[in-house]
Amino acid sequence: MLTYVLRTLVKMAITLVVIVSLVFFATRLSGNPVDFVLGEGITREDRELLIAYYGLDASIGTQYWRYLASVFSGEFGLSFLERRPVSQIVLGRAWPSLKLLLSAVSFTLIVSVPLGILAAIYRTSIVGSVVMVIAFLGYAVPAFIIGILLVLIFGYTLNWLPVIGDGSALHFIMPTLAISGMLVAAITRFTRNAMLDVLSQDYMRTARAKGLPEWIVILKHGLRNASITLLSVIGLQIAGLAAAGSVVVEAIFAWPGIGDLLVRSAILRDYPVLQFGVLSVAIVVIVINATVDIAYAYADPRIRLAKG
Of 13, 9, 30, give the one whose Cα is nearest residue 275: 30
User: Judging by beta carbons within 10 Å of its beta carbon (0-12, 13-18, 19+), is residue 14 exposed, middle or buried?
Assistant: exposed
Res. 170: pLDDT tops 60 = yes
Q: Is position 213 within any domain? A: yes
Q: Is residue 77 left, alpha or beta, with left meaning phi > 0 and alpha meaning psi from -120 to 50?
A: left
Q: What is the CA radius of gyration of the chain?
A: 24
Res. 152: pLDDT tops 90 = yes
Whether residue 284 is found in the same domain as residue 168: yes
3-state secondary structure of 185: helix
Do residues 287 and 13 lie in contact, with contact meaning Cβ atoms separated by under 8 Å? no
Whether residue 49 is found in the same domain as residue 91: no
Do residues 56 and 269 lie in contact, with contact meaning Cβ atoms separated by under 8 Å? no
The segment with the largest mean pLDDT, out of 70-84, 161-175, 222-236, is: 161-175
Whether residue 222 is found in the same domain as residue 91: yes
Tell which wins on pLDDT, 203 or 178: 178
CATH number at residue 106: 1.10.3720.10
| Exposure string over 18-39, b if 16+ CB within 10 A, otherwise e | ebbeebbeebbeeeebbeebee
Of 246, 244, 235, give the one whose Cα is nearest residue 287: 235
Res. 174: pLDDT tops 90 = yes
Whether residue 254 is found in the same domain as residue 127: yes
Res. 136: pLDDT tops 80 = yes
Whether residue 101 is found in the same domain as residue 205: yes
pTM of the model: 0.79
Instruction: Provide the pLDDT for residue 303.
Output: 52
Range of the domain at 247: 87-306
Res. 298: pLDDT tops 70 = no
Whether residue 67 is found in the same domain as residue 158: no
Query: Which pLDDT band, with edges at 50, 70 and 90, does 153 fall under?
Result: very high
The average pLDDT across 140-168 equals 88
Task: Give rounded-to-5 percent helix, strand, coil for the chain.
Answer: 80, 0, 20
Whether residue 194 is found in the same domain as residue 287: yes
In whole numbers, what is the pLDDT of the chain averaged over residues?
82
Whether residue 245 is found in the same domain as residue 186: yes
- Tens digits of residue pLDDT in 205-224: 777 777 778 778 887 778 77
Instruction: Provide the pLDDT for residue 229.
Output: 73
Whether residue 123 is found in the same domain as residue 224: yes
Whether residue 140 is found in the same domain as residue 264: yes
Distant-in-sequence, close-in-space partners of 260: CB < 8 Å, separation ≥ 6: 93, 250, 251, 254
Whether residue 102 is found in the same domain as residue 247: yes
Instruction: Provide the pLDDT for residue 236.
Output: 73
Of 86, 117, 79, give the one whose Cα is nearest residue 222: 117
3-state secondary structure of 230: helix
Whether residue 50 is found in the same domain as residue 91: no
Tell which wins on pLDDT, 40 or 140: 140
Instruction: Provide the pLDDT for residue 154.
Output: 92
Q: Is position 7 within any domain? A: no
How many domains would you assign to the chain?
Answer: 2
Distant-in-sequence, close-in-space partners of 82: CB < 8 Å, separation ≥ 6: 89
